[in-house]
Amino acid sequence: MIKYLLLVSLVIHATLANSESASKKWLTLNGQRPSVIARGGFSGLFPESSDFANQMALGTSVHDVVVLCNLQLTKDGVGICQGDIRLDNTTNIAMLFEKGSKTYKVNGQDLTGWFALDFTADQLLANVSLVQNIFSRPSAFDGMLPMSTVDDVRNSNPPAFWLNVQYDAFYTENKLSVTNYIQKATRLQGVNYISSPEIGFLKRMNGLVNKAKTKLIFVFLDKKATEPTSSQTYGSILGNLATIKKFASGIVVPKDYIWTVNTANYLDAPTSLVNDAHKLGLEVYASGFANDFTTSYNYSYDPSAEYLQFIDNSQFSVDGLITDFPPTASEAVACFAQYPDIKPTKGQALIITHNGASGVYAGSTDLAYQQGLEDGADIIDCSVQMSKDGVAFCLDSVDVTRDTTAAATFMSLSTTIPEIQQSSGIFSFDLSWSDIQALQPQLTSPFENKGGLPRNPANKNKGKFLTLAEFLELAKVKAVTGILINIENAAYLASQKGLDIVSAVNTALSNATFDKQSTQKVLIQSDDTSVLSKFQNVPAYTRVLYLKDEISDAPKTPVGEIKKYADAVTLPRFSIVPTIDGFTTATTKVVNEMHAANISVYVTVLRNEFVTLAFDYFADPTIEIATYTSGIGVDGIITEYPATASRYLRNPCSSDSMPESSYSIIPAEAGSLLKTVPEETQPPASSPTPALDVADIVDPPLPAVTKPASPPPATSPRSSALANIANVGLSLVAIVVFSSLSLM
């Protein structure tokens, strides 16, 4: 049974009644803010045009959201809402009517499948259920929601209703009249927009609609496709927009008609389409927006950035955004567009970089840190590593194979050190600083091997690595709010490599006078309590314990133990909001338990890519940020994309105290979306994550710094034959190791 009450509890986004600030001036045709058009409701989350999708769109979007229905006609002339003319792509009809497949010629192309015009409304509505046909979206609702008629959608009382007629000529050829259906069944009441890619249909409707109440919109398809009435390509029609003005008040165009994307997946200069159309009095609606589609690298996987590109540039604004994710379009329109950055308020969560803006430039480089500061980070971070000759520098990992080009040069140094990691690697302490300086940085993505989501290839090898001293100098020159220094592997470095990373950090901070000032925050982070103990006598430092393993609870005894060593903790995000099969399950008490002991909490690592986001966050990193900051109240977020965090935290929609905002970005309620899934199809419960224990916290004292033993003396030269065999063997080993690394 459909859980309507649970759905209502899920719709927690608040749409405020306050009017929008009159100071905003839009570059739309009418000067008003762009419309948000929900294609099939919230079809990015629920199956298109289902009741859930429509209700969710109304509950999470701006107050004047437009709900769009793609019209199909049944055998008995009933209008249903489905985007694909072949129902087997979006429903389970093929399982129910196995012999119902047919082949039709649609706009000159033979299509085979199950078509609405071969079934009565009763057959479809009583038997067929909807499914998601995009794999990045939740399949948990497949088979539980019936199809919607046009009247069903209209009865949900959307503020505005859009009817898109994609296949008028096809239905006419098969003795069904879309024009008659619209006239008789809807009587044009409450239909604010009627759109079609067919000129003949719009010309017929032109004399039938009340143009003051219903706008006719011409839809452009692919430029090479042929428009059925005129037999012209849509590309050629685009060159004569004046003819469209005779029968329509606006146009819908794919978004790349406006901002073209080149073969390297970067934006080119915008076309003049929007300004040309506005000069003729035509509104322009851009289509094709979805948070879970790969877009231009210019947007850094932040969907809000893409929406803003179309509505908040100095040249033009489209008049509406047609999207599968109306909440994200709503926040772009109502919150982010045309608002200048607001200064951070006292007590607001800190924005802490993860190796700088490492989603944009290779991590731990000068360019990544500079980008992080430009993007609004409060604190930039340096994970300190040591070279063989004792130089402290910034790099995410002691294994340099991922973040540098070391594999091409130093594969012979690859080794396995179980105390550090299970896989083999090339370690910084086996290279001199001059060796490391000769390497190129390497911008990598944690998702390249999973979802094919590479990061900014144009910046792949840009930037240079910084010594710790250079990093501290940059922080002073830029007058950043603060720095985070992360220290790991101190015991191994001391006992096995004769390197004192703690003293190196202490000396560098002291030389830069960070220990004698209070204007810039200094966070010393480590997963080792013995390391943190070495900094306990410096009042200027905040000590942060990094609890790498996920936990479900933080009892008083281990929290009390943390208090002996640290002022704050860094937690993995799943220790705060656990997930299962893409759904959040609950919010743990860990943050509240830490706060009760006056321990600050930072959450790590936040990223923009939609594959890392739970369904509850709507494939929108802003919603995840809002959940951890405004919803749960963490003291800081550690992110690879500080620009996304800054846009939210420096914006009126992140605060209830800004009355000029007509929309609020409300955090997700963990576990609510999962409750709407029928129990029989819910994912099986996962093994419980353990609670924090004292044994997880206290580490043994750091060993003394011990110089490594000298290498054994050289032996007598072997015969050249043996030497050649040995060299061949070494080469084969190197090849095998390199191959295994490349597959990681």
Give the pLDDT confidence of 230-288 residue by residue, as tens digits: 999 999 999 999 999 999 999 999 999 999 999 999 999 999 999 999 999 999 999 99
Given a cut of 80, whether residue 226 has pLDDT beyond it is yes
Give the pLDDT confidence of 681-708 residue by residue, as tens digits: 888 888 889 999 999 999 999 999 998 8
DSSP character string of 92-145: SHHHH-TT--EEEEETTEEEEE-BGGGS-HHHHHHH-BB----TTS--TTTTSS
Q: What is the mean pLDDT of the chain?
A: 91
Given a cut of 70, whether residue 534 has pLDDT beyond it is yes
Give the lowest-confidence range in 7-11, 221-225, 296-300: 7-11
| Rounded Cα–Cα distance for residues 726 and 731 (Å) | 9
Given a cut of 70, whether residue 391 has pLDDT beyond it is yes
pLDDT at 363: 98
Tell whether pTM > 0.95: no
Give the pLDDT confidence of 81-91 residue by residue, as tens digits: 999 999 999 99
More confident residue, 541 or 211: 541
pLDDT at 188: 65
Given a cut of 90, whether residue 177 has pLDDT beyond it is yes
pLDDT category at 190 given cuts 50, 70, 90 is confident
pLDDT at 654: 78
pLDDT category at 728 given cuts 50, 70, 90 is very low
Residue 709 DSSP one-character state: P
Name 583's Cβ contacts closer than 8 Å, sequence gap at least 6.
138, 140, 614, 615, 616, 671, 673, 674, 677, 683
Q: How many angstroms separate the Cα of 560 from the Cα of each of 57, 109, 466, 632?
A: 45, 71, 37, 22
Q: How many angstroms separate the Cα of 673 from the Cα of each of 3, 386, 577?
A: 11, 46, 13
pLDDT at 12: 45
Name 537's Cβ contacts closer than 8 Å, sequence gap at least 6.
none
Q: Decide if 286 contacts 321 (C-beta within 8 A).
A: yes
- Max CA distance (Å), the chain: 101
Q: What are phi and psi of 384, to 5 degrees?
A: -80, 130
Bridge pairing between strands 35-39 and 250-254: unpaired
| Rounded Cα–Cα distance for residues 546 and 697 (Å) | 10
Cβ neighbours of 223 (radius 10 Å): 15
Give the pLDDT confidence of 567-595 residue by residue, as tens digits: 999 999 999 999 999 999 999 999 999 99
**Mean pLDDT value across residues 373-390:** 97
Given a cut of 60, whether residue 21 has pLDDT beyond it is no
**Mean pLDDT value across residues 667-687:** 89
What domains can be seen in the chain, in order of their start residue?
A: 35-85+147-335 (3.20.20.190), 352-681 (3.20.20.190)
Identify which of 458, 531, 525 has the alpha carbon closest to the alpha carbon of residue 492. 531
**Mean pLDDT value across residues 151-163:** 95
pLDDT at 737: 36
Given a cut of 80, whether residue 18 has pLDDT beyond it is no
